[in-house]
Copies of this chain bind each other. A is one copy, B any other.
Amino acid sequence: MNVGFVGLGIMGKPMAGHLIAGGHTLFLKTRREVPAELVAAGGTACATAKEVAEKSDVVITMVPDTPDVEAVLFGEDGIAEGLSAGKTVVDMSSISPIATKAFAEKIAARGAAYLDAPVSGGEVGAKNASLTIMVGGDEATFDKVKPLFELMGKNVTLVGPTGAGQSTKVANQIIVALTIGAVAEGLLFASKAGADPAKVRQALTGGLATSRILELHGERMIRRTFDPGFRIELHQKDLNLALEGAKSLGLALPATAVAQQLFSVCVANGGKAWDHSGLARALEIMSNHEIADAS
Protein backbone atom coordinates (compact mmCIF):
# COMPACT_ATOMS: atom_id res chain seq x y z
CA MET A 1 0.00 0.00 0.00
CA ASN A 2 1.17 3.58 -0.57
CA VAL A 3 1.28 5.08 2.90
CA GLY A 4 2.06 8.65 3.91
CA PHE A 5 3.59 9.44 7.27
CA VAL A 6 3.74 13.03 8.57
CA GLY A 7 5.60 13.54 11.85
CA LEU A 8 8.71 11.42 12.35
CA GLY A 9 9.69 12.21 15.93
CA ILE A 10 10.40 9.86 18.83
CA MET A 11 7.18 7.96 18.13
CA GLY A 12 6.61 8.44 14.40
CA LYS A 13 10.09 7.40 13.24
CA PRO A 14 10.01 3.81 14.57
CA MET A 15 6.33 3.45 13.61
CA ALA A 16 7.08 4.43 9.99
CA GLY A 17 10.05 2.06 10.07
CA HIS A 18 7.74 -0.87 10.95
CA LEU A 19 5.50 -0.02 7.97
CA ILE A 20 8.48 -0.01 5.58
CA ALA A 21 9.69 -3.30 7.07
CA GLY A 22 6.15 -4.66 6.54
CA GLY A 23 6.49 -4.11 2.78
CA HIS A 24 4.63 -0.84 2.32
CA THR A 25 5.72 2.10 0.17
CA LEU A 26 6.20 5.09 2.46
CA PHE A 27 6.03 8.83 1.60
CA LEU A 28 7.51 10.88 4.41
CA LYS A 29 7.44 14.42 5.78
CA THR A 30 8.48 15.91 9.09
CA ARG A 31 9.33 19.38 10.44
CA ARG A 32 13.08 18.70 10.26
CA GLU A 33 14.86 16.60 7.68
CA VAL A 34 13.41 13.12 7.08
CA PRO A 35 15.65 10.65 9.00
CA ALA A 36 18.29 9.17 6.66
CA GLU A 37 17.71 5.62 7.93
CA LEU A 38 14.06 5.71 6.79
CA VAL A 39 15.17 6.82 3.32
CA ALA A 40 17.91 4.17 3.30
CA ALA A 41 15.23 1.58 4.19
CA GLY A 42 13.27 2.59 1.09
CA GLY A 43 11.07 5.50 2.18
CA THR A 44 10.62 8.58 -0.02
CA ALA A 45 11.09 12.04 1.48
CA CYS A 46 8.51 14.58 0.21
CA ALA A 47 8.75 18.38 0.13
CA THR A 48 5.28 19.02 1.56
CA ALA A 49 2.46 17.24 3.42
CA LYS A 50 0.33 17.98 0.32
CA GLU A 51 2.74 15.92 -1.81
CA VAL A 52 2.60 13.07 0.77
CA ALA A 53 -1.21 13.03 0.46
CA GLU A 54 -1.10 13.13 -3.35
CA LYS A 55 1.11 10.04 -3.51
CA SER A 56 -0.56 7.98 -0.74
CA ASP A 57 -3.75 5.96 -0.21
CA VAL A 58 -3.54 6.29 3.56
CA VAL A 59 -1.92 9.29 5.27
CA ILE A 60 -0.87 8.92 8.91
CA THR A 61 -0.17 11.93 11.13
CA MET A 62 1.85 11.68 14.37
CA VAL A 63 2.50 15.17 15.74
CA PRO A 64 2.55 16.69 19.25
CA ASP A 65 -0.74 18.51 19.82
CA THR A 66 -4.09 19.68 18.43
CA PRO A 67 -2.75 22.83 16.68
CA ASP A 68 -0.02 20.74 15.03
CA VAL A 69 -2.59 18.34 13.59
CA GLU A 70 -4.64 21.29 12.36
CA ALA A 71 -1.55 22.77 10.70
CA VAL A 72 -0.44 19.62 8.87
CA LEU A 73 -4.01 18.88 7.75
CA PHE A 74 -5.31 22.31 6.78
CA GLY A 75 -2.29 24.63 6.63
CA GLU A 76 -0.66 25.81 3.41
CA ASP A 77 0.59 22.84 1.36
CA GLY A 78 -1.15 20.66 3.93
CA ILE A 79 -2.59 17.19 3.61
CA ALA A 80 -6.12 18.37 2.76
CA GLU A 81 -4.82 20.02 -0.43
CA GLY A 82 -3.46 16.69 -1.66
CA LEU A 83 -6.48 14.53 -0.81
CA SER A 84 -9.00 13.09 -3.25
CA ALA A 85 -11.97 10.74 -2.96
CA GLY A 86 -11.19 7.28 -1.55
CA LYS A 87 -8.13 8.30 0.44
CA THR A 88 -7.94 7.95 4.23
CA VAL A 89 -6.41 10.17 6.89
CA VAL A 90 -5.36 8.45 10.12
CA ASP A 91 -4.40 10.75 12.99
CA MET A 92 -2.35 8.82 15.56
CA SER A 93 -1.46 11.91 17.61
CA SER A 94 -3.07 12.40 21.05
CA ILE A 95 -5.31 15.45 20.69
CA SER A 96 -8.71 16.92 21.54
CA PRO A 97 -11.66 14.56 20.86
CA ILE A 98 -13.82 17.58 20.07
CA ALA A 99 -11.41 19.12 17.56
CA THR A 100 -11.08 15.64 16.05
CA LYS A 101 -14.76 15.56 15.11
CA ALA A 102 -14.41 18.92 13.35
CA PHE A 103 -11.28 17.78 11.50
CA ALA A 104 -13.03 14.57 10.35
CA GLU A 105 -15.95 16.58 8.95
CA LYS A 106 -13.65 18.84 6.94
CA ILE A 107 -11.79 15.79 5.60
CA ALA A 108 -15.10 14.08 4.73
CA ALA A 109 -16.08 17.18 2.72
CA ARG A 110 -13.17 16.31 0.40
CA GLY A 111 -14.43 12.75 -0.09
CA ALA A 112 -11.79 11.20 2.15
CA ALA A 113 -12.24 9.03 5.26
CA TYR A 114 -10.83 9.79 8.72
CA LEU A 115 -9.77 7.64 11.65
CA ASP A 116 -8.52 8.90 15.00
CA ALA A 117 -6.10 6.30 16.34
CA PRO A 118 -4.03 7.53 19.30
CA VAL A 119 -1.66 5.16 21.00
CA SER A 120 -0.34 4.33 24.43
CA GLY A 121 2.85 2.49 25.26
CA GLY A 122 5.32 5.31 24.66
CA GLU A 123 8.69 5.19 22.95
CA VAL A 124 9.31 1.58 24.03
CA GLY A 125 5.97 0.48 22.58
CA ALA A 126 6.68 2.36 19.33
CA LYS A 127 10.09 0.69 18.96
CA ASN A 128 8.82 -2.80 19.85
CA ALA A 129 5.63 -2.47 17.76
CA SER A 130 3.69 -3.22 20.96
CA LEU A 131 1.56 -0.07 21.12
CA THR A 132 -2.03 -0.09 22.28
CA ILE A 133 -4.04 1.59 19.48
CA MET A 134 -7.50 3.03 20.23
CA VAL A 135 -9.44 3.73 17.06
CA GLY A 136 -12.49 5.90 16.34
CA GLY A 137 -14.27 5.80 12.99
CA ASP A 138 -16.37 3.55 10.81
CA GLU A 139 -15.80 -0.18 10.58
CA ALA A 140 -15.08 -0.39 6.84
CA THR A 141 -12.29 2.20 7.10
CA PHE A 142 -10.96 0.49 10.24
CA ASP A 143 -10.81 -2.87 8.44
CA LYS A 144 -8.90 -1.29 5.55
CA VAL A 145 -6.26 0.29 7.84
CA LYS A 146 -6.07 -2.54 10.40
CA PRO A 147 -3.14 -4.35 8.68
CA LEU A 148 -1.09 -1.15 9.09
CA PHE A 149 -2.06 -0.82 12.77
CA GLU A 150 -1.03 -4.42 13.38
CA LEU A 151 2.48 -3.66 12.14
CA MET A 152 2.77 -0.95 14.82
CA GLY A 153 0.82 -2.29 17.79
CA LYS A 154 -0.50 -5.32 19.60
CA ASN A 155 -3.83 -4.33 21.15
CA VAL A 156 -5.82 -2.66 18.34
CA THR A 157 -9.45 -1.84 19.18
CA LEU A 158 -12.22 0.02 17.32
CA VAL A 159 -13.85 1.74 20.30
CA GLY A 160 -16.59 3.77 18.59
CA PRO A 161 -17.27 6.47 15.98
CA THR A 162 -15.02 9.41 15.08
CA GLY A 163 -13.48 10.95 18.20
CA ALA A 164 -13.91 7.79 20.28
CA GLY A 165 -10.25 6.86 19.88
CA GLN A 166 -9.16 10.23 21.28
CA SER A 167 -11.78 9.98 24.05
CA THR A 168 -10.41 6.58 25.01
CA LYS A 169 -6.88 7.92 25.10
CA VAL A 170 -8.08 10.73 27.38
CA ALA A 171 -9.82 8.12 29.56
CA ASN A 172 -6.55 6.21 29.71
CA GLN A 173 -4.67 9.31 30.84
CA ILE A 174 -7.36 10.09 33.45
CA ILE A 175 -7.15 6.56 34.87
CA VAL A 176 -3.35 6.54 34.88
CA ALA A 177 -3.05 9.94 36.61
CA LEU A 178 -5.71 9.13 39.22
CA THR A 179 -4.23 5.70 39.91
CA ILE A 180 -0.84 7.34 40.46
CA GLY A 181 -2.60 9.63 42.94
CA ALA A 182 -4.26 6.62 44.60
CA VAL A 183 -0.95 4.83 45.11
CA ALA A 184 0.74 8.04 46.29
CA GLU A 185 -1.90 8.85 48.93
CA GLY A 186 -1.92 5.25 50.17
CA LEU A 187 1.85 4.93 50.44
CA LEU A 188 2.21 8.39 52.00
CA PHE A 189 -0.35 7.54 54.69
CA ALA A 190 1.25 4.19 55.48
CA SER A 191 4.75 5.68 55.56
CA LYS A 192 3.83 8.58 57.83
CA ALA A 193 1.93 6.19 60.13
CA GLY A 194 5.09 4.10 60.56
CA ALA A 195 4.85 1.23 58.07
CA ASP A 196 7.70 0.38 55.68
CA PRO A 197 6.43 1.55 52.25
CA ALA A 198 8.33 -1.16 50.34
CA LYS A 199 6.70 -3.82 52.50
CA VAL A 200 3.33 -2.13 52.15
CA ARG A 201 3.65 -2.24 48.37
CA GLN A 202 4.63 -5.91 48.60
CA ALA A 203 1.72 -6.73 50.95
CA LEU A 204 -0.84 -5.02 48.68
CA THR A 205 0.44 -6.56 45.44
CA GLY A 206 -1.82 -9.36 44.34
CA GLY A 207 -4.85 -8.00 46.23
CA LEU A 208 -7.65 -5.66 45.19
CA ALA A 209 -5.30 -2.67 45.22
CA THR A 210 -3.08 -4.26 42.55
CA SER A 211 -2.34 -2.23 39.44
CA ARG A 212 0.41 -1.74 36.91
CA ILE A 213 0.85 1.69 38.54
CA LEU A 214 1.35 0.19 42.04
CA GLU A 215 3.95 -2.09 40.52
CA LEU A 216 5.90 0.45 38.41
CA HIS A 217 5.16 3.92 39.79
CA GLY A 218 4.86 2.70 43.39
CA GLU A 219 8.41 1.44 43.11
CA ARG A 220 9.57 4.76 41.63
CA MET A 221 8.03 6.61 44.63
CA ILE A 222 9.84 4.30 47.06
CA ARG A 223 13.18 4.36 45.20
CA ARG A 224 12.93 8.13 44.51
CA THR A 225 13.48 7.77 40.76
CA PHE A 226 11.46 10.56 39.19
CA ASP A 227 13.32 10.76 35.88
CA PRO A 228 10.98 10.35 32.91
CA GLY A 229 9.32 8.08 31.90
CA PHE A 230 6.42 10.31 30.98
CA ARG A 231 6.83 13.98 31.80
CA ILE A 232 4.39 15.77 34.09
CA GLU A 233 4.02 18.63 31.58
CA LEU A 234 2.75 16.13 28.99
CA HIS A 235 0.32 14.56 31.42
CA GLN A 236 -0.92 18.06 32.27
CA LYS A 237 -1.69 18.57 28.58
CA ASP A 238 -3.73 15.35 28.60
CA LEU A 239 -5.66 16.24 31.76
CA ASN A 240 -6.35 19.61 30.19
CA LEU A 241 -8.02 17.78 27.29
CA ALA A 242 -10.01 15.82 29.90
CA LEU A 243 -11.14 18.89 31.85
CA GLU A 244 -11.89 21.02 28.76
CA GLY A 245 -13.73 18.07 27.23
CA ALA A 246 -15.67 17.49 30.45
CA LYS A 247 -16.70 21.13 30.52
CA SER A 248 -18.01 21.08 26.98
CA LEU A 249 -19.69 17.68 27.47
CA GLY A 250 -21.25 18.74 30.80
CA LEU A 251 -19.43 16.27 33.03
CA ALA A 252 -18.01 16.66 36.53
CA LEU A 253 -14.60 15.03 37.03
CA PRO A 254 -13.63 16.10 40.55
CA ALA A 255 -10.70 13.71 41.08
CA THR A 256 -9.24 14.62 37.68
CA ALA A 257 -9.39 18.28 38.70
CA VAL A 258 -7.53 17.45 41.93
CA ALA A 259 -4.86 15.48 40.04
CA GLN A 260 -4.29 18.41 37.67
CA GLN A 261 -3.80 20.72 40.65
CA LEU A 262 -1.31 18.27 42.19
CA PHE A 263 0.64 18.28 38.91
CA SER A 264 0.62 22.09 39.16
CA VAL A 265 2.13 21.79 42.65
CA CYS A 266 4.91 19.76 41.05
CA VAL A 267 5.45 22.36 38.32
CA ALA A 268 5.54 25.12 40.94
CA ASN A 269 8.32 23.17 42.65
CA GLY A 270 10.46 22.66 39.57
CA GLY A 271 8.89 19.37 38.48
CA LYS A 272 7.50 19.91 34.97
CA ALA A 273 10.03 17.42 33.58
CA TRP A 274 9.66 14.87 36.42
CA ASP A 275 8.14 11.52 35.59
CA HIS A 276 4.37 11.56 36.29
CA SER A 277 4.98 9.29 39.31
CA GLY A 278 6.35 12.55 40.77
CA LEU A 279 2.72 13.49 41.50
CA ALA A 280 3.61 11.89 44.84
CA ARG A 281 6.11 14.74 45.36
CA ALA A 282 3.21 17.23 45.39
CA LEU A 283 1.57 15.39 48.29
CA GLU A 284 4.93 15.05 50.02
CA ILE A 285 5.66 18.77 49.71
CA MET A 286 2.16 19.64 50.95
CA SER A 287 2.50 17.24 53.90
CA ASN A 288 6.21 17.82 54.62
CA HIS A 289 6.92 14.07 54.64
CA GLU A 290 8.54 11.82 52.06
CA ILE A 291 7.24 8.30 51.38
CA ALA A 292 10.78 6.97 51.82
CA ASP A 293 11.28 8.76 55.18
CA ALA A 294 11.29 6.79 58.39
CA SER A 295 8.42 8.24 60.42
Contacts and interface: CB of A to CB of B under 8 A. Distances in A.
Contacts of A188: 251, 253
Secondary structure type dominating chain A contacts:
helix
Contact of A203 (B159, B179, B192, B287): B159
7 contacts: A120-B207, A121-B207, A175-B204, A175-B214, A251-B283, A255-B258, A255-B259
Contacts of A183: 175
A108 interface: no
Interface stretch (A6-14, A18-26, A61-69, A241-249): A241-249
Given A171-B187, A178-B182, A200-B171, A132 B195 contact: no
Contact of A190 (B170, B177, B182, B200): B170
A204 B262 CA distance: 24
A167 B195 contact: yes
Q: How many copies does the complex hold?
A: 2
Interface residues of A, number: 76
Interface in A241-295: 242, 245-246, 249-256, 258-259, 261-262, 283, 286-289
- A174, A195, A200, A256, most chain B CB atoms within 10 A: A195
Contacts of A160: 194-196, 199
A103 to B, nearest CB: 15
A158 to B, nearest CB: 7
B193 A249 contact: yes
A43 interface: no
**Pairs A-B, 3 closest by C-beta atoms:** A178-B182, A211-B211, A167-B193
Contact of A132 (B207, B245, B253): B207
A210 B176 CA distance: 9
B286 A252 contact: yes
B199 A157 contact: yes
